[in-house]
Amino acid sequence: MAILVVGSVAFDSIETPHGKVDHCLGGAATHFALAASYFTPVRVIAVVGRDFTAEHEAVLTRRGIDTQGIERSNGLSFHWTGSYSGHMDVAKTLGTDLNVFETFEPKIPDSYKDSEYLFLANIDPVLQARVRSEMPKVRMVCGDTMNYWIADHAANLAKVLRELDVLLINDGEARMLAGESNTVIAADKVMKMGPKTLVVKHGEYGATAFFSDRSFSNAKLSRPFRAPALPLAEVVDPTGAGDSFAGGFYGYLASQPELTPAVFRTAMFYGGVMGSFAVERFGTERLQNVSRQEIDERFNLFREISHLEHAGV
Amino acid sequence: MAILVVGSVAFDSIETPHGKVDHCLGGAATHFALAASYFTPVRVIAVVGRDFTAEHEAVLTRRGIDTQGIERSNGLSFHWTGSYSGHMDVAKTLGTDLNVFETFEPKIPDSYKDSEYLFLANIDPVLQARVRSEMPKVRMVCGDTMNYWIADHAANLAKVLRELDVLLINDGEARMLAGESNTVIAADKVMKMGPKTLVVKHGEYGATAFFSDRSFSNAKLSRPFRAPALPLAEVVDPTGAGDSFAGGFYGYLASQPELTPAVFRTAMFYGGVMGSFAVERFGTERLQNVSRQEIDERFNLFREISHLEHAGV
């Protein structure tokens, strides 16, 4: 079933030990949509400037992504400049030009209104809440946020958290949001703020899902679930890995008839799979061209590197 | 089959957000031996001072650990003072009093000479190499080291590395040893220095084993294997977690008739299991009193939190 994603479609200028790219297509909604598109239909709400060309749009439409909700504004698109060095686990932001994103007012096309799955990518929680309120009938709401909103927009963020089925954030954000240094206790506190389930992303170490009594309607998982990440010999560009994880994860969930613990665990693996592809090339290059066969082969690889018994020796 | 471990038996004074202990029994060989003792006979070579009492010795002998190789010297035992704060992922060393350890000359009792498994805990590589050379017939050699030896005793360490079947170190140490920021490439470089197999410990995120063509005599694992750690709501004291991982890992290996990929994977899980027990109480308290049933229950829990299919829902 279709996912509606609201978030940034942007340009990134990135330097890593493997090279440098200028103004490549990026943004949370872009990475998310491309990763999710291998599993389910995706519709995007975003705003772009006049620098967003037909070629950029074709990157999305070639993957069957609905771009009707991408508004064109008379200015430049959101542009992020950053670099990575050494072990590349931390991005150094060199510039953030919001441009047309600064006055972004999400508008939901009528044709999007029947979307059953909503993903609120990392944007101002005021906008996240507005989109959510305009989609009252969605079956599931999943969202992301970041330290900036947690620190300085807590009241607005609190409203969004109450609406979430699943919140996806990283370790530091989870602990910051809860004001608690232990991740397990932080997860409990965060889920008491609203999210039924919390997925904590660990970068190169994978991700952990924490469940509450409200996570599943017909089942209960009392233990967390930990999905691995793939140790990669070449990480070209980590930008968008977390959004790609979210796309693979939520795309798979939305493709399944029912949310069960087994479906959730599998979705966590597909999240890792799409994150692992994303970092192999600059920008969205790899996410544009991966095949379903490669995805399934890598899924099996994730199983092989983490399961006691598997098809190999 | 019996493991001979050479390393520190020491006292630790530790402060964490959960409290403070003064001069509790610690040291790499102690944590390792206690964790391994649940799987196989263990023999310890170390030196202690007059502050090491019959009660301290009983902590080891109650677990069936052979203490004949623990030399008594007329001085004080090695004493480490440290603290942890916040997320407790990094120890702050406040004091390192080597005491009798400064002039440690490992002596191998005759009754230890038939040990088939050797573990070289983190001590001066000159001593590691000497013990190894005096045990020419062992079936397997596994070892640990740390940043201090990597940085300032590289030539001595290189001799030890050539003798190792398995090297267990953490992420930062693996990258430092290889002079390479990517962990996968670093692992290859480290294995070219000698170790047939490299186990990289990730603290709260588990551990990854990297294999070479020499890892198994009758099989080949071309992919790494990633074992999870258990998300714990209460980490009382992380001291010794890595040595406890090593003890559970190597203790299980030594208990098995043959080294196969399946045995290795299972050993990685038992390593995580023993590490997760170790941090639940200060010092070695938990490792002294865990039951085999608790160990097996937790092993199943490790499987549950990491496997797509399991006995639960």
Q: At residue B262, does pLDDT exceed 90?
A: yes
Q: At residue B311, does pLDDT exceed 80?
A: no
| Mean of per-residue pLDDT scores for chain B | 96
Question: What amino acid occupies position A76?
Answer: L
d(CA A166, CA A141): 7
Q: And the tokens for B270?
A: 């038992």
Mean of pLDDT values over B122-150: 97
Of the candidates A237, A231, A241, the residue with the CA atom closest to the CA atom of residue B184: A231
Mean of pLDDT values over B271-278: 98
- Contact indicator for B88, B235 with CB cutoff of 8 Å: yes
Relative to beta strand A66-72, strand A42-48 is: parallel
Q: What is the dihedral of CA A247, A251, A253, A258, to 10 degrees?
A: 160
Position B145 scores a pLDDT of 97
**Residues on chain B touching A307 (C-beta within 8 angstroms):** 306-308
Position B89 scores a pLDDT of 87
In Å, how far are A17, A141, A300 from A154, measured between CA atoms? 36, 19, 40
SS3 B284: coil
Q: What is the dihedral of CA B96, B99, B100, B105, to 10 degrees?
A: 60
Q: What share of chain B is helix, strand, coil (3-state, %, to 5)?
A: 40, 25, 40
Question: What amino acid occupies position B171?
Answer: D
Please identify which residue in the block is written with the tokens 């950053």: A82
Q: At residue A294, does pLDDT exceed 60?
A: yes
Mean of pLDDT values over B70-89: 95
| Mean of per-residue pLDDT scores for chain A | 96
Position A219 scores a pLDDT of 87
How many angstroms separate the most distant Cα atoms in chain A? Answer: 59
Position A205 scores a pLDDT of 96
Please identify which residue in the block is written with the tokens 């990134």: A12
Position A123 scores a pLDDT of 96
Residue B172: CB atoms within 10 Å:
14
| Chain B residues 207-266 with CB within 8 Å of chain A | 208, 210, 219-221, 223-228, 231-235, 260-262, 265-266
Q: What is the pLDDT of residues A224-273, one digit of tens each?
A: 999 999 999 999 999 999 999 999 999 999 999 999 999 999 999 999 99
The DSSP call for residue B2 is P
Q: At residue A313, does pLDDT exceed 60?
A: no
The DSSP call for residue B236 is -
Q: Where are the domains of chain B?
A: 3-306
Q: Which CATH architecture has domain A3-158+233-304?
A: 3-Layer(aba) Sandwich (3.40)
C-alpha Rg value of chain A to the nearest Å: 18
Position B312 scores a pLDDT of 53
d(CA A312, CA B220): 9
Position A220 scores a pLDDT of 85
Phi-psi region of B49 (alpha: psi -120 to 50; beta: other; left: phi over 0): beta
Phi-psi region of A267 (alpha: psi -120 to 50; beta: other; left: phi over 0): alpha
Position A312 scores a pLDDT of 53
Q: What is the dihedral of CA A302, A12, A26, A279, to 10 degrees?
A: -10
Position B160 scores a pLDDT of 98
The DSSP call for residue B107 is -
Pick the residue from chain A with its C-alpha nearest to B301: A223
Mutate to test the interface with A, among B232, B306, B309, B310 (most CBs of A within 10 A): B306
Of B88, B265, B308, the CB nearest to A265: B308
Q: DSSP of chain A, one letter per residue?
A: -PEEEES--EEEEEEETTEEEEEEEE-HHHHHHHHHTTTS-EEEEEEE-TT--HHHHHHHHTTT-EEEEEEE-SS---EEEEE--TT--S-EEEEEE-GGGGG------GGGTT-SEEEE-SS-HHHHHHHHHT-TT-SEEEEE--HHHHHH-HHHHHHHHTT-SEEEEEHHHHHHHHT-SSHHHHHHHHHHTS-SEEEEE-GGG-EEEEE-TTS-SS----S-EEE-----S-----TTHHHHHHHHHHHHHHHSSS--HHHHHHHHHHHHHHHHHHTTSSTTHHHHH--HHHHHHHHHHHHHTT-SS-S--
Pick the residue from chain A with its C-alpha nearest to B223: A305
**Residues on chain A touching B170 (C-beta within 8 angstroms):** none
Reported as a pLDDT band with limits 50, 70 and 90, residue B309 is confident
The DSSP call for residue B233 is S
Q: What is the pLDDT of residues A46-105, one digit of tens each?
A: 999 999 999 999 999 999 999 999 999 999 999 999 999 998 988 999 999 999 999 999
Cβ–Cβ gap B228/A228 under 8 Å: yes
Q: At residue B313, does pLDDT exceed 60?
A: no
Pick the residue from chain B with its C-alpha nearest to A236: B182
Relative to beta strand B10-16, strand B19-26 is: antiparallel
Pick the residue from chain A with its C-alpha nearest to B172: A87
Percent of chain A with pLDDT over 70: 99
- Give me the CATH code for the B3-306 domain, please: 3.40.1190.20
Of the candidates B63, B101, B84, the residue with the CA atom closest to the CA atom of residue B19: B84
Position A221 scores a pLDDT of 83
Percent of chain B with pLDDT over 70: 99
Cβ–Cβ gap A308/B266 under 8 Å: yes
Give this prediction's pTM: 0.96
Q: At residue B207, does pLDDT exceed 80?
A: yes
Of the candidates B169, B22, B198, B5, the residue with the CA atom closest to the CA atom of residue B95: B22
- Contact indicator for B203, B89 with CB cutoff of 8 Å: yes
**Residues on chain A touching B88 (C-beta within 8 angstroms):** 181
- Contact indicator for B150, B178 with CB cutoff of 8 Å: no
Mutate to test the interface with A, among B89, B173, B176, B205 (most CBs of A within 10 A): B205
Q: What is the pLDDT of residues A107-134, one digit of tens each?
A: 999 999 999 999 999 999 999 999 999 9
Of B182, B202, B208, the CB nearest to A235: B182
Position A311 scores a pLDDT of 53
d(CA A40, CA A66): 11
How many angstroms separate the most distant Cα atoms in chain B? Answer: 59
CA angle A255, A256, A258 (to 5 degrees): 145
Say which residue, A218 or B98, is predicted with more confidence.
B98
- Contact indicator for A45, A6 with CB cutoff of 8 Å: yes
Q: At residue A223, does pLDDT exceed 70?
A: yes
Q: At residue A281, does pLDDT exceed 90?
A: yes
d(CA A232, CA B181): 12
In Å, how far are A105, A181, A247, B40, B78 from B7, measured between CA atoms? 64, 32, 48, 18, 11
d(CA A201, CA B231): 13
**What is the ipTM, given to two decimal places?**
0.94
